[in-house]
């Protein structure tokens, strides 16, 4: 005779989540920087594995937190060129 099944959480296996993992984007290089009228700084990012037409302006605070080495490289290059104070201002 069959017995009634009772779900027991102690006997469950670790299941793979159905939620997709967040896609990871890798910075190939920082091409430019600008400061918006509201004072927010942004970096023009070229993404590894993507074409130039897919470059995007990203908030500086996000890039500085997620990829500090990339930001330091850009600052070093600008310092070497004597342009460390140069930030393009957005007109819009």
CATH top-level class of 24-87: mainly beta
CA dihedral 38, 44, 48, 51 (to 10 degrees): 120
- Percent residues over pLDDT 70 in the chain: 60
Task: State yes or no: pLDDT of 92 exceeds 50.
Answer: no
Burial of 53 (0-12, 13-18, 19+ CB in 10 A): exposed
The 10s digit of each residue's pLDDT in 32-88 is 888 888 989 899 999 999 999 999 999 988 888 887 777 777 777 667 766 544 455
Q: What pTM did the predictor assign?
A: 0.60
**Per-domain residue ranges for the chain?**
24-87
């Amino acid at each position: 005779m069959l017995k009634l099944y009772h779900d027991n959480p102690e006997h469950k296996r670790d299941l793979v989540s159905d939620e997709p993992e967040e896609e990871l984007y890798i910075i190939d290089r920082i091409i430019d920087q600008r400061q918006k009228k509201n004072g927010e700084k942004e970096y023009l990012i070229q993404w590894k594995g993507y074409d130039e037409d897919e470059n995007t302006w990203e908030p500086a605070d996000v890039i500085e937190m997620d990829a500090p080495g990339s930001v330091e490289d850009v600052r070093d290059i600008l310092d070497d060129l004597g342009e460390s104070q140069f930030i393009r201002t957005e007109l819009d």
